[in-house]
Structure 1
Amino acid sequence: MPDSGARTAQQSPIGTTDHGHSLRVMAILSVLMGFGSISTDIYLPALPTMGQALGSSSGTMELTISGYLVGFSLGQLLWGPIGDRYGRRLPVAAGILLFVIGSAGCALSDTAWHMIGWRVVQAVGACAGVVLARAMVRDMYDRDRAAQMLSTLIVIMAIAPLVGPLVGGQILAVASWHVIFWLLVGVGLLTLAALFTLPETLAPAQRSREPLIRAVGEYGHLLRQRAILGYAGVGAFFYLGVYAYIAGTPFAYISYYHVPAQLYGLLFGSVIAGIMAVNMVNTRLVTKLGSDRLLRLGTAGAAIFGLAVAVAAGTGWGGLAALATTLFLFAGMSGLIVANSIAGALARFPERAGTASALVGAIHYGAGIVGSALVGAFADGTPWPVGWVVGIAGTGCFVCARLFLPAQRSDQRAISASSEAIS
């Protein structure tokens, strides 16, 4: 683990007295972390229209989300060790270029299967920014402060999924769905230009010297750590539910409840606003109450609200209002679960922040693949597939926290023990 002097030096990029510099760094990191969500959220209102244009069913079109998650999940396992060995900025730049190529491929697709393939390419590029932005935060901050900073970044980056469906719906009203993906090409190029104004947070002396093939082998060591299983597992169950919501609600809201595509963005945006609000609460409380305590509270909420979603979707009681409200409450628990679970895992392995971030992210998004795929496989024209998947996800989130999260004790002892075990 780096000594206190190194840690102080690493903190300087954001912990500087130059307020403008700090805001710029935070904004760029937020965009990098937001690549995963904006790449999907902006075209959600267009899914039914794209299905008609490409001659594909709703289940096949939902595979454009599942395919994206496959690339996003597996790609993180590649970028994590690369970021630990070569620093953060260069791998992120390579990833953004791949994202631009994949976005252009999506815009030019003429079949659903071509679209799915290019979505995989797009995802492999997008995940570089996500996994290494998290590692950059861990480079600069310790446990609870990192959780606080991640929550702040999530609040900022939530602007993207908040406006994404709104923008996508408005584009669809005046142009074809292809324009949505050309817009993503432009976003990628602008982010690439902004990237090179960021400081490099991983000094050469702190980079891994192991061959990449051996570094990949560290995933096996990490998976034997109970703490990783706990933190990653909690997030995995939550992502299972979140991506069931993302994949299923365009058809549940637009096709089943006849919500106009332009208004779908408002329903989706209200959920993002809720996530932002809970993340702001987390940023204020995490240094006082601790990230583990807030994480456990979030899993309890996820279980309660997830079961409520299942009841609303399965019985139809309360109609659209009940379904949208319970999904809002379930998704809002993201503010207590995501940042705290990531920070908890990375705090135990600071010398391998990129690799640990990649593994946790891969597990999270791998579960998202299952969630979206289940909704697509069991699609029946009703909200019920979304409901039962979210209900299982919330319950699993709570059970995993109870079984695998470390007991509440001195964080330093836990971190030291885990660091020794992985060394």
Structure 2
Amino acid sequence: MQHSVLLVYVLAALAALAPFAIDTYLPAFHVMADSLQADPLSIQQSLTFYLLPYAVMTLCHGAVSDAVGRITTIKWGLGIFVLASIGCAFAPNVQTLWLFRALQGMSGGAGNTVARAMVRDLFDGPQAQRVMATMQMLFGIAPAIAPILGGVLLGIHWQAIFIFLALYAAMALWAAVRYLPETVPAAQRVRFSVQNIAHTYGKMLGNRQFLILTACVGLNFSAFFIYVLASPVFLVEHLHLSSQQFGFLFVPTVAGMMTGSWLARHTAGKLSPASTIRWAFAWMVLVASINVGIQTIYAGEPVWWMAILPIALFNVGMATVVPILSIAALDFYPKSRGTAASAQAFIQMVCSTLSSAVVVPLVWHSTLSMSMAMLGMTLVSALLMLMIHRRFKSI
């Protein structure tokens, strides 16, 4: 039992590298802009330079882990991430920062993708849902801690934030090598080739149910993530909070994610997946609709806690369904879980990247437009789920 708990902690640490890489430096945007003699939009675009390579490379991380093993993939990915983080810390200008952020994105997805596949390698049925939910609950702490920690490290220097990321990745790498078993023995590995990857992804692209399940996770998360990506503007300009008060957003919203993860864990095997999905989606649509109403009433003069509370409540429903939808998608490809996990991560990161590059700059001018974007993404996700709801009646 203790061994299983330790595995979950290590897997969660690997998965949490992504939110740490995104959220820890958010409070430093304005300081970095001054230090690197760049405008705030150029610093904000460093998120896109991270997210786009992250999304593209997730197509490879899982396939590589199917071919060479999970642990070897983690070693290479996190090793490169450590070096890229050091490069970010000592970047002399914003263009160099973009370069090393892109290198972080290319390597940082290895931990998250492999961790997701290993959950399904090691656990089955309701236990897999409970483990995925537990890992997600621990993983959810990262977005709450990261910006607060970033604010503290900013008191030293913005470079300290990227030194922290290098140290965190190094510790996660050590723990993975020390405590995680190799779940893909040599006899079960799949030969790595572009042709094999293209063939496997071709089958996945033709699987409507797999695509919808994965897209729903991505859309639901992006509905919340627009507030994370826009947090320097959302919190400082609209809600008039300081860089040291980023926790006002992240603590309650992550508490909502942890509550949803707890619900997913404790309803596993007790409540049918179909019922859980139905109630969770109804909750998300309701909360997102109320959020639009609140921001319409308080347009121009938003009350900070009334702007943040709906996001936290939305995350309860979002986090409740993530383990169910993720496991259901992975179960379509039991012999290529690494590749399936890569496809999941890619589609979800495409949603996040589009949010960063397109949606956020269009909607961050007001809290009302941001709430409408959240509602729009949620409605699209709910409509997609209605298209495949019969699948969950048989589970």
Q: TM-score range by the shorter chain?
A: over 0.9
Q: Match for 1:111 among 87, 93, 113? A: 93
Partner of 1:156: 138
Q: Equivalents in 2 of 1:313, 1:101: separation in Å?
A: 43
CA contact (8 A) 1:303 1:397 kept: no
CA contact (8 A) 1:80 1:354 kept: yes
Q: Equivalents in 2 of 1:261, 1:195: separation in Å?
A: 33
Instruction: From the superposition, tell whether residues 51 and 131 of structure 1 become closer, same or farther in structure 2 (CA, over 3 Å).
Output: same
Partner of 2:392: 408
In the alignment, is residue 319 of structure 1 matched against residue 303 of structure 2?
A: yes
Q: Equivalents in 1 of 2:364, 2:262: separation in Å?
A: 37
CA contact (8 A) 1:253 1:259 kept: yes
Structure 2 residue ranges without an equivalent (≥5)? none
Equivalent residue letter for 1:178: Q
Q: Equivalents in 2 of 1:346, 1:299: separation in Å?
A: 21
In the alignment, is residue 247 of structure 1 matched against residue 229 of structure 2?
A: yes
Moved more, 267-276 or 137-146: 137-146
Moved more, 345-354 or 333-342: 333-342
Secondary structure, counterpart of 2:269 in structure 1? helix
CA contact (8 A) 1:36 1:130 kept: yes
Q: Equivalents in 2 of 1:221, 1:336: separation in Å?
A: 28
Moved more, 359-368 or 198-207: 198-207
Q: Equivalents in 2 of 1:243, 1:86: separation in Å?
A: 33
Q: Match for 2:321 among 337, 348, 355? A: 337
Q: Equivalents in 1 of 2:103, 2:44: separation in Å?
A: 17
Q: Match for 2:371 among 366, 387, 390? A: 387
Secondary structure, counterpart of 2:183 in structure 1? coil
Q: Deviations over 1:269-319 (max 9, x none)?
A: 221112111111110002222334323332222222223333444553552
In the alignment, is residue 132 of structure 1 matched against residue 99 of structure 2?
A: no
Q: Equivalents in 2 of 1:117, 1:294: separation in Å?
A: 43
Q: Equivalents in 1 of 2:84, 2:252: separation in Å?
A: 29
The equivalences for 1:18-29 within 5 A come to 19=2, 21-29=3-11
Measured after TM superposition, the shift of residue 346 of structure 1 is 0.6
Equivalent residue letter for 2:218: A
CA contact (8 A) 1:307 1:395 kept: no
In the alignment, is residue 346 of structure 1 matched against residue 321 of structure 2?
A: no
Partner of 2:71: 89
Q: Deviations over 1:381-404 (max 9, x none)?
A: 433442232121111121111123
The equivalences for 1:253-272 within 5 A come to 253-272=235-254
Instruction: From the superposition, tell whether residues 122 and 255 of structure 1 become closer, same or farther in structure 2 (CA, over 3 Å).
Output: same
TM-score where L is the length of structure 2: 0.93
Aligned length, in residue pairs: 392
Q: Equivalents in 2 of 1:379, 1:234: separation in Å?
A: 21
Q: Equivalents in 2 of 1:226, 1:144: separation in Å?
A: 24
Structure 1 residue ranges without an equivalent (≥5)? 1-16, 412-423
Secondary structure, counterpart of 2:60 in structure 1? helix
Partner of 1:293: 275
The equivalences for 1:7-406 within 5 A come to 17=1, 19=2, 21-172=3-154, 174-197=155-178, 198-209=180-191, 211-316=193-298, 319-378=303-362, 381-406=365-390
Instruction: From the superposition, tell whether residues 147 and 324 of structure 1 become closer, same or farther in structure 2 (CA, over 3 Å).
Output: same
Secondary structure, counterpart of 1:407 in structure 2? helix
Q: Equivalents in 2 of 1:379, 1:342: separation in Å?
A: 29
Q: Deviations over 1:364-389 (max 9, x none)?
A: 11001111223443266433442232
Measured after TM superposition, the shift of residue 259 of structure 1 is 0.6
Q: Equivalents in 2 of 1:157, 1:301: separation in Å?
A: 22
Q: Deviations over 1:174-218 (max 9, x none)?
A: 211111001111111112211211111122222224635313321
Equivalent residue letter for 1:337: V
Secondary structure, counterpart of 2:143 in structure 1? helix
Secondary structure, counterpart of 2:6 in structure 1? helix
CA contact (8 A) 2:274 2:393 kept: no
Measured after TM superposition, the shift of residue 253 of structure 1 is 1.0
CA contact (8 A) 2:63 2:192 kept: no
Q: Equivalents in 2 of 1:80, 1:367: separation in Å?
A: 19
Secondary structure, counterpart of 2:62 in structure 1? helix
Instruction: From the superposition, tell whether residues 281 and 379 of structure 1 become closer, same or farther in structure 2 (CA, over 3 Å).
Output: closer
Q: Equivalents in 2 of 1:353, 1:283: separation in Å?
A: 22
Q: Equivalents in 2 of 1:235, 1:305: separation in Å?
A: 17
Q: Equivalents in 2 of 1:324, 1:232: separation in Å?
A: 26
Secondary structure, counterpart of 1:378 in structure 2? helix
Q: Deviations over 1:121-165 (max 9, x none)?
A: 112211001011110011112243222211100111222222111
CA contact (8 A) 1:151 1:279 kept: yes
Measured after TM superposition, the shift of residue 94 of structure 1 is 0.4
Q: Equivalents in 2 of 1:171, 1:256: separation in Å?
A: 24
Equivalent residue letter for 1:377: P
Instruction: From the superposition, tell whether residues 384 and 113 of structure 1 become closer, same or farther in structure 2 (CA, over 3 Å).
Output: farther
Measured after TM superposition, the shift of residue 33 of structure 1 is 0.8
